[in-house]
């Protein structure tokens, strides 16, 4: 995972041509141009796989269900040769546990919860004691462990996981902590774990104190860099990772701001208005004319359309800002992101959620959740339909082909959302 960025650099260096990295989207759109697209009664637009009521059709649900069964079998077989020591959510066993937790949520099948337990136990036996985030460190297995144990009524085991999770906190807020702030390896990736536990197990499971200390450390770090770069006026919060001011959800500002905007993070309203909001607005002004976002503040090429780098990972931040600040401009720009993703979102990099088609599909689900417009449900289904032909498009095969963030588990997670699309969440990110 340390190679997340270097690998992307390698890819962008070798395949400069847009055609190399994206498939031309040949799916018919919800309605032809010029017709009111939000009107399900409008003539001429395609409907399938939605039924006459604008819900995901029973036939499509069945297709998705069958494919998921098939992919789960392939995944289980493939995992037999996966790295036994990778416990991360991003590419390892905790990610698989999280998938089964999701399958249990949508199906209610007890066997899925048992599987989640088996996989998370594997991770809990192998905590590495170095990294602290939900995606790449010990906070992931501990938070997921706490939830799985609680669902099984193993209350003591669940509490133990939370105690251990909180033992990581001093390393996150300590003054000499060298930790970055981004989601994959930094403070926000630890903050997510605390917010996730409270969301799943009830507010107050983790006290306000430890949460607000982490939030303060994140704010302080951002203000320090911004002041150092003389940007305190324009962008009061600035962050970098490996010397670059990344924009996207995985390493950048959009991921950090999204987490600070969470009601569960309890950022005081004057700080939200005076510090977080102007920073969000600064970032908004960095978008390309196409509506897409650069991978970093210094990058001017409009190329990557991924959850990790580009518009898809910025959508949740814009929608959250819209909900909090009640201004249409945030929603409008999220909608613009949706257009970019629809045009360019079928990736040759595969079907995963970090930089694949399923991850881009999640942006439509987020837009659907907020707007309830059938167009976005339709588009989400079309990207799911693409994932039903898993492996047949000649996409690049990821290094960890069965994992949650790079591979098959992520695509299955996305497909499972079709059962309750109004209630979807991008795993390990959206709350
Ligand atoms: Zn990625």
Cα of 6 vs centre of ligand 1, distance in Å, is 11
Q: What spacing in Å lies between the alpha carbon of 260 and ligand 1's midpoint?
A: 22
Burial of 110 (C-beta count, 10 Å sphere; 0-12/13-18/19+): exposed
Kindly give, in sequence order, each residue whose CB lies less than 8 Å from that of residue 93, ignoring residues fewer than 6 positions away. Answer: 86, 87, 119, 120, 122, 123, 141
CA–centroid distance, residue 43 to ligand 1 (Å) = 38
Is it true that the peptide bond before 414 is cis, omega within 30 degrees of 0? no
Q: pTM for the whole thing?
A: 0.92
Phi, psi of 274 (to 5 degrees): -95, -20
Closest CA to 234 of 283, 286, 282: 282
Number of other CB atoms surrounding residue 296 within 10 Å: 21
Question: Is 219:279 a contact under the CB 8 Å cutoff?
Answer: no
The Å distance, Cα 240 to ligand 1 centre, comes to 17
CA 66–ligand 1 middle distance (angstroms): 28
Q: Which residues contact 389 (CB under 8 A, 6 or more apart)?
A: none
Ligand 1 centre to CA of 7 (Å) is 9
Identify the pLDDT of residue 172. Answer: 95
| Residue 355 known to bind ligand | yes
Residues 6+ apart with CB under 8 A from 327: 321
Contact 351, 67 (CB under 8 A): no
Give, in order, the Cα–Cα distances in Å from 147 to each of 57, 105, 199, 354.
32, 12, 10, 23
Please say whether the beta carbons of 322 and 330 come within 8 A.
Answer: yes
Q: Report in angstroms the alpha-carbon separations of 240 from 37, 83, 185, 186.
A: 39, 30, 12, 11
Is 308 annotated to bind a ligand? Reply is yes
Measured CA to CA in angstroms, residue 420 lies from 142, 377, 429 at distances of 27, 11, 18
How far away, in angstroms, is 184 Cα from ligand 1 center? 10
328-344 helix and 311-325 helix, angle to the nearest 10 degrees: 160
Asked whether the beta carbons of 323 and 366 are under 8 A apart, the reply is no
* Tens digit of each residue's pLDDT, the chain (431 residues): 444 544 444 333 333 344 447 888 888 888 744 444 455 544 455 688 999 889 999 999 999 999 999 999 999 999 999 999 999 999 999 999 999 999 999 999 999 999 999 999 999 999 988 899 999 999 999 999 999 999 999 999 999 999 999 999 999 998 767 899 999 999 999 999 999 999 999 999 999 999 999 999 999 999 999 999 999 999 999 999 999 999 999 999 999 999 999 999 999 999 999 999 999 999 999 999 999 999 999 988 999 999 999 999 999 999 999 999 999 999 999 999 999 999 999 988 899 999 999 999 999 999 999 999 999 999 999 999 999 999 988 888 889 999 999 999 999 999 999 999 999 999 999 99
Please give the Cα distance from 400 to 382 (Å, whole number). Answer: 25
On whether the CB atoms of residues 404 and 90 are closer than 8 A, the answer is yes
Count the alpha carbons within 13 Å of 314 in the hemisphere toward its beta carbon. 36
Q: How far is the CA of 304 from the centre of ligand 1 (A)?
A: 10
Number of Cβ within 10 Å of residue 404's Cβ equals: 31
Distance 399 CA to ligand 1 centre (A): 12
Question: 115 with 108: CB under 8 angstroms?
Answer: no
Q: 158 C-alpha to center of ligand 1: Å?
A: 31
| Residue 307 alpha carbon to ligand 1 centre in Å | 7
The alpha-helical segments, DSSP class H, found in 207-310 are: 208-228, 253-260, 269-271, 277-284
Q: Report the separation in Å between the CA atom of 164 and the middle of ligand 1, taken as the mean of its atom positions.
A: 29
For ligand 1, the distance from its centroid to the CA atom of residue 326, given in whole angstroms, is: 30
Q: Report CA(422)–ligand 1 centroid distance (Å).
A: 25
What is the structure's pLDDT at 130? 84
Residue 135's nearest CA partner among 122, 125, 123 is: 123
354 is in an annotated binding site: yes
Determine whether 416 is exposed, middle or buried from the number of CB atoms within 10 Å of its CB (0-12, 13-18, 19+).
buried
CA of 296 to the centre of ligand 1 (A): 14
Residue 38 has what pLDDT? 55
């Amino acid at each position: 995972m340390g190679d997340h960025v270097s690998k992307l650099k390698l890819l962008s260096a070798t395949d400069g041509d847009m055609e190399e990295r994206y498939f031309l989207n040949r799916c018919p759109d919800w309605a032809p141009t010029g017709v009111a697209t939000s009107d399900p009664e409008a003539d001429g637009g395609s409907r399938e796989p939605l039924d006459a009521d604008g819900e995901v059709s029973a036939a499509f649900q069945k297709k998705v269900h069958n494919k998921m069964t098939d992919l789960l079998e392939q995944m289980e077989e493939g995992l037999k040769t996966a790295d036994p020591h990778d416990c991360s959510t991003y590419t390892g066993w905790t990610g698989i546990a999280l998938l089964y937790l999701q399958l249990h949520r949508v199906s209610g099948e007890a066997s899925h919860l048992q599987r989640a337990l088996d996989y998370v136990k594997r991770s809990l036996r192998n905590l590495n004691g170095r990294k602290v985030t939900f995606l790449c460190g010990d906070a992931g297995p501990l938070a997921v462990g706490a939830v799985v144990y609680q669902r099984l009524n193993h209350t003591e085991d669940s509490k133990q996981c939370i105690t251990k999770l909180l033992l990581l906190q001093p390393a996150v807020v300590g003054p000499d902590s060298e930790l970055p702030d981004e989601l994959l390896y930094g403070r926000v990736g630890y903050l997510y774990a605390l917010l996730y536990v409270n969301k799943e197990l009830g507010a107050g499971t983790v006290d306000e104190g430890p949460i607000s200390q982490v939030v303060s450390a994140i704010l302080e770090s951002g203000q320090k860099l911004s002041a150092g770069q003389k940007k305190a006026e324009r962008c009061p919060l600035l962050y970098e990772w490996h010397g670059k001011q990344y924009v996207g959800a995985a390493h950048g500002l959009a991921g950090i701001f999204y987490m600070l905007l969470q009601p569960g993070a309890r950022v005081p309203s004057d700080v939200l208005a005076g510090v977080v909001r102007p920073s969000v607005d600064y970032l908004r002004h960095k978008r390309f004319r196409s509506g897409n976002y650069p991978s970093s503040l210094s990058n001017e090429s409009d190329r990557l359309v991924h959850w990790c780098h580009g518009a898809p990972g910025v959508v949740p931040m814009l929608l959250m800002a819209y909900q909090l600040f009640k201004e249409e401009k945030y929603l409008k720009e999220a909608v613009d992101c949706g257009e970019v993703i629809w045009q360019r979102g079928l990736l040759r990099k595969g079907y995963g959620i970090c930089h694949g088609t399923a991850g881009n599909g999640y942006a439509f689900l987020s837009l659907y959740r907020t707007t309830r417009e059938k167009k976005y449900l339709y588009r989400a289904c079309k990207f799911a339909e693409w994932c039903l032909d898993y492996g047949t498009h000649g996409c690049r095969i990821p290094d960890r082909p069965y994992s949650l963030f790079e591979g098959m588990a992520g695509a299955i997670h996305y497909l499972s959302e079709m059962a309750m699309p109004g209630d979807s969440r991008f795993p390990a990110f959206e709350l």
